[in-house]
Structure 1
Amino acid sequence: MLLSIIFIVTMPVLKDEPSRYNTDIRKLLDQCHCVDVHFCTADLNPICGAHRVVLCSVSYGFMLLFDLIPAKEIHEFNLQETVRTYLSVYQEPTVSMNNTPVRVIVKDVHFHKCLPDILHFIYSGASQWQLLEHDLKEKLKDDEEADYVSHIVQSLLNKPGTDSHSGTPLSLSESIGFFFNNTSLADVVFQVQDTKIPAHRSVLAARCDVMAAMFSGSYMETNCALIPVHGISKDTFLNFLEYIYTDTVCPASIPEAMSLMICSEMYQVSRLQHICEGCITTQLQSMTSRELASTSLNVVSLLQKAKFYNFGSLYNWLLHFVATHYQIFSQKQEFQDLSAWQLDFVEINKWPSNYYLNQLSKYRSYIHSPKHSCAVM
């Protein structure tokens, strides 16, 4: 009986990185990056800083306060009354420069005493009501006062016709995602090719350390309203910003995923790199042998780009992918672009292997030999 041994080449396992979106936004509050709101007491003593885009993403009350929506579009009198009663934007005596934080006066003493806890609640997604109520009671040491402040927060954060307690709140990424490629509250514009793309420094700084350094250090871009972007296409940069704002992205093709991965490496956004790796490998694995044979996609070129940009995990995966589809790629012109070392690796790890093909040939010869013919008694 003919025995054959089959060696299976195991594809490298790519990393998966959990989302840090909520942590990034909370860090923005803790580190005071790109603050554009200063909350103050009635006598203008500062309480703490915040960011309009985050406040407005969870509250029509703050949208009304910062004139993002006109009062006539808010049909609930309670919301308008709450904003007028407890908050007001201080009218500066002189015209402020661009990006100068606005001062918001907090008129209620209990509310401003609890404001740091309230902001932490908002920057955590404005959904952990029980935790907020516990923190308010701990801060005020009086249940009635805590309930009073909690009611103010509910009135500010409720969107018209909704109930913050019973309704299903949007995630923080969904709420802030509404400001993606939106001129509302934008304080910076990127010039990419022939397109101007609005953005918000606070969101960029929260989600990208390179952007945080760029907007807070001694760089040309720190106080620049229009920032040119070179070497990146408009579509790739829009995909990059979409991820920054929404924590999700879906490149339309493998080349676009590779371009986005290169962009994410430039801005040091590691999780986006891993997402792009997953997009590339998933799309390649979903292709049939016939599709791989006929596609114009140059997988060897992808492999060489992965090596050039030091995408080690993707490079190893693509090398194994070429090896395990040896019969397809060895017939392509691009196969000649592999280096000597890469060719050696592919030859050693190729599938079907020489050993397997040799065993298969022997088996077929044995099956079709006269000695193996079936005899009927």
Structure 2
Amino acid sequence: SVNIVAFGNERDGFSEDNQQACLIWSYLGRSALISHINSSLSVSHIGNPIFTKYQACVFGNVRLVVHDFPLWDIFDSDWYTSRSLIGGADIVVIKYSVNDKTSFQELKDTYAPMIKKTLNHSSVPVIISAVGARKNGVPCTCPLCTLDRRSCVTTSEGVQLAKDLRATYLELHTLNDFYIQKYFGGVLEYFMIQRLNQKSSEKMKKRRKTQKCHRVQPPQLEQPEKMPILKGEASHYDTDLHNLLCCCQCADVAFYAEDLSTVVEAHKVILCAVSHLFMLLFKVKSPADIRDASILCTAQSLFTVEMEDAVLPLPHGIPRCVPPVRVLVKDSVFCSCLLDILHFIYSG
């Protein structure tokens, strides 16, 4: 939301036109960015108006609240309320008529120091709006002349007041579309955007700070002066696999020549891992699982798996309680090369 507090009367105090337009109401009614305007008038116990409260939406869905105080009586009657209003405002608007020198002088001498004192502890932007066209250019310098009371407020006086309050000075010669929407409205909407961005940034910082407070902090461990160098150990996979073949460790397959003169030991799991032929030979897969008919023909032409009741000598190193699968190699040429083939398979 955006909270705006406006002080001062922009109407000419000596004008007989009571229907003279109000700066805040003119802006709210003409700006294309404002919607859903509601207003309420607060009066004192004797019936005098204290302030008008406007509520609207700006930039689509941002809530806008404006407190418009046409009189400065609140600073005289309730200083704490006026100070809290300024402290809680996002933007402060001070307005006066350039043809009411008396009201301006009262603002400059009495109320401007109060506002400055309150704004010293905040960064609330202030807009000073000098409203109206000057009716008499040069005031009379005669000490007995009463025309001084109706003399105009000069531009230099307004600029000096803006410097004292570190405010933005605007001169609105008339409350038409140009001065209301593009001039006053442009500056006011700029400050609205800046304040909304500032609020969003503060909200994000607060959220991050809250999340950081609730986050479990890891322990602060001292790092060693020099990290140890980790060296990878050389792999012994190839050697260990080759030793299985050479040392006949845990062998569960024995290949025999047809004359039973040559015995070569191996391992079913390794042989099945490299060829579907051995999976078919050791009944890991059935002939129906093998789509390639040449594998079936090769297995039948090269090998014959002997039944367990056949009488064949067991090689050294295989216990009797775990009889190996005994395979006869039909092809003598293949049998002579079988050991080299197994060495190639076991090389990894």
- Normalising by structure 1, what TM-score? 0.30
Which protein has the larger Cα radius of gyration, Structure 1 or Structure 2? 2
More helix by share: 1
More strand by share: 2
- Normalising by structure 2, what TM-score? 0.32
